[in-house]
Structure 1
Amino acid sequence: MAVAGGWLLVNQVTVHSGGWALWGYNSFGLSLLPFIAGTGLLFFNGRSVLGWLLLLAGLVIIFAGILANLNIYFRPTSLFNTLLMLALLAGGLGLMARAVRSAESSPDDKEPS
């Protein structure tokens, strides 16, 4: 149930990416500077701590920039379909939670006194 509800819900979502803007200008190139500098330092000296830090910082900046510039929209659907998706998702999660709870407090696991 949870998988079906989750799939139906996620299927209604549309994702678009926006431009990387900083003060009205395209700033994607600026996010590449630490990555390029770190890569250059690592080609010069593979054990350079500064090179590794710049490379990792550049990757984090690029990944965060991609996530920050996503526009996520829920496509129009009927109220019935939305309620069906949410009920399937919530019901399936509830059944999984009940199964985990009963497995943790199973009477078979208790030792006799």
Structure 2
Amino acid sequence: MTLAQNEDQASAEAAVAHLLAESLLMIRYLAASDGDRPISDNRRQEQVHALADLCHNLPAWLDPTRRDRIHEGIAFMWRTASPNKRRWVRQCWDAIGYDYRWLR
């Protein structure tokens, strides 16, 4: 692998790891109770479901035996994501400076 390919690989792995971390934090926030009352807001449940749906395949692409094909996982996630999910992904990646223009 060339230096550029190594940097691209590392960037893709960092982008996937960042999405996973952000989605877990957001899911925990959305699923949190308000004092003694559990959250029963349907909107929050929908958001939790959307985040889990978006990221559920990503951990497998960080497996050492599959990391060399991580771009396939990112591309699949992008192709199957709704506009709202893509917007959230772009916000996450913009925050870390990941160049996702190759997905367009």
Give the number of the structure whose residues are more often strand, by fraction: 1
What TM-score, normalized by structure 1, do the two folds share?
0.32
What TM-score, normalized by structure 2, do the two folds share?
0.34
Q: Which has the higher contact order (CA 8 A, sep 6+)?
A: 1
Give the number of the structure whose residues are more often helix, by fraction: 2
Higher gyration radius (CA) = 1
